[in-house]
Amino acid sequence: MREILGRRRRLLSRRGDSGPQLIEAALTFASDWQWPLLPGVATDPQGGSRCGCPDPECTVPGAHPFDPGLLAATTDARMVRWWWGNRPTAPVILATGGRAPCAVSLPAVPAARALGALDRLGMRLGPVVASADRWSILVKPYSLEQLGELLYAKDFVPGSLRFHGEGGYLALPPSTTGLGDVRWERAPLPGSASPWVPDVEAVVDAVVEALTRAGVSAPEM
């Protein structure tokens, strides 16, 4: 199978696109780390940053599933190869929750300041996904009940925080969406094991404290 995959990567490389990087990353996420994936809808080839889905006002252009839908997410390497063999530039979409990581995201500028504050506090973080407008901190899977109790106990939670839990999704590197490239701000450590991620409680507590201490007002967006 390695030889077959290697041949496919060379063939895709001749097309001058990002297909080889995308399929290699998707296979690592799905096969090695057991993260369920599916291809994103991608952007409209005629519209630049416009989404390829039917919604003309899509707020996450190219960064969400459409056909197939979210329920089709899988860790099956054969399906991943088939999807990106046919759609080599499709964004890599993680179906969050279940056995896969969830995520906490916030706007990019306060996120950068919050991560700096967390580093100074000695807070251990796992992978962090960055796009042009938002950064997402990967966390362990959580339930809606767990999240509800966590937020209820807080005196203040920035309205700009978003939570990608069960039934949610997140574009992973090295995808390109209508909002630009998706990259690792904190890349997973190399190796075959699934990356370590912190509990959602620790991340929310630390992010809220860091934003408060730094006097950062995360925009409500």
Percent of the chain with pLDDT over 90: 51
Q: What is the mean pLDDT of the chain?
A: 84
Quickly count helices (H) and strands (E) in the chain.
Answer: 6, 10
Residue 218 in this model has a pLDDT that exceeds 60: no
> Which residue from 40, 32, 13, 12 is spatially nearest to 77, judged by alpha carbons?
32
| Phi–psi pair at 110, nearest 5 degrees | -65, -25
List pLDDT tens digits, range 24-63. Answer: 999 999 999 999 999 998 776 666 678 888 888 888 888 8
Residue 184 in this model has a pLDDT that exceeds 90: yes
pLDDT number for residue 92: 96
**All residues at 6 or more sequence positions from 149 whose CB lies less than 8 Å from its CB, including other chains:** none
pLDDT number for residue 207: 86
For residue 115, give both structure tokens: 């991560």
pLDDT number for residue 14: 34
pLDDT number for residue 167: 94
Task: Out of 16-20, 60-64, 138-142, 216-220, pick the least confident.
Answer: 216-220
CA distance 20 to 9: 5
> Which residue from 109, 116, 133 is spatially nearest to 217, judged by alpha carbons?
109
pLDDT number for residue 215: 54
pLDDT (mean) for 81-90: 93
pLDDT number for residue 4: 32
Task: Out of 27-41, 157-171, 201-215, pick the least confident.
Answer: 201-215
Residue 178 in this model has a pLDDT that exceeds 90: no
Per-residue pLDDT band for 18 (boundaries 50, 70, 90) equals low
pLDDT number for residue 3: 29
List pLDDT tens digits, range 96-126. Answer: 999 899 999 999 988 998 898 888 888 899 9
CA distance 217 to 213: 11
